[in-house]
Chain A
Amino acid sequence: MKTAIAVLVIVLASSAGEVLIARGLKQIGEISTLQLRELLVIGGRILTKRDFLAGLFSMAISFCAFLAVLSWADLSYTIPATSLSYVISTLGARLVLQEKINPLRWSGTILVCFGVALISLP
């Protein structure tokens, strides 16, 4: 039960975080430089985006819950169990970010989910 609740927290917090961070980064535009100075300037601009900061906070909650679970559960169980966030994040990408997700991409995502379900079985 303790593990199930912690996994739920990890999944929901990380999905919300990923969608928010993606929205923040799309406001910045494509990062296409490898120069450190320019990267630092872009980094500074990213840190001013409210979506990005909210996403970061959400992912920090997810990470803390993940750390806690790892202290009592196997990594090869925990990791697959938390991957439910792929489904929820993809739905978030469709509904919040308005990404066009073609049938091929849905098929791939569903295959990943089946794989994850198999991995999660004891």
Chain B
Amino acid sequence: MKTTVVLTLAISAQATGNILLSKGMKSLVVSDLAGNTYWFSLFLQAAGSPTIWIATAFLTLFFLLFTAALSWADLSLVLPATSFGYVVNVASAHYFLGEAVSPLRWVGTALISIGVVVVARSDTKKVESDRKKERIPTEVRG
């Protein structure tokens, strides 16, 4: 339950951060010249954009929640679980940024969602604690 709540908050913060970040970066006006000047100018403009600062704050919040979850849950559980953020990101990019999303991409997001549900059900720590509650002996795991 704790993992679910923390990861849901983390995914929401990440989606908000990414939308704002994309909006902020696209609004920068940098000439298309290659080389060091391009990156320097891009960095300076990004550092002066309030949208990018707010986006960074949301992504920092995501990182803190993600880190907290890693203190008790497996990386191999937390990572695929946060991939649900991709579904939220694609949907938000479509609705808030007006980006075109093909039917194939929507199918992809559906597969990711199913994958996340499957990964969530593979949480052996949770299964083991449920078994203890039901007083069913757990199998010996090698």
Contacts and interface: CB of A to CB of B under 8 A. Distances in A.
Contact of B108 (A59, A102, A107, A119): A119
Interface residues of B, number: 54
A28 B70 CA distance: 10
B83 A86 contact: yes
Q: Top 7 nearest A-B pairs by Cβ distance?
A: A115-B111, A111-B115, A118-B108, A108-B119, A108-B118, A119-B108, A115-B112
A99 B94 contact: no
A112 B116 contact: yes
Contacts of B104: 118-119, 121
A18 B93 CA distance: 25
A70 interface: yes
A58 to B, nearest CB: 13
Given A75-B18, A75-B19, A97 B105 contact: no
User: What secondary structure prevails in chain B residues at the interface with A?
Assistant: helix
Contact of B93 (A31, A74, A108): A74
Contacts, number: 165
B31 interface: no
Contact of A100 (B63, B94, B141): B141
B30 A71 contact: yes
A32 B1 CA distance: 13
A18 B22 CA distance: 23
Interface of B: 18-19, 21-22, 25-26, 28, 30, 39, 42, 46, 59, 63, 67-68, 70-72, 74-77, 79-80, 83, 86, 89-90, 93-94, 97, 99, 101-102, 104-105, 107-122, 124, 141
User: What secondary structure prevails in chain A residues at the interface with B?
Assistant: helix
A50 interface: no
Contact of B75 (A59, A71, A75, A89): A89
A71 B28 CA distance: 8
15 contacts: A22-B75, A68-B42, A79-B18, A80-B105, A80-B108, A83-B83, A83-B86, A86-B83, A94-B76, A99-B76, A101-B76, A115-B109, A116-B86, A116-B108, A121-B104
B11 to A, nearest CB: 12
A90 B99 contact: no
Given A93-B74, A104-B122, A119-B109, A67 B25 contact: yes
B129 to A, nearest CB: 14
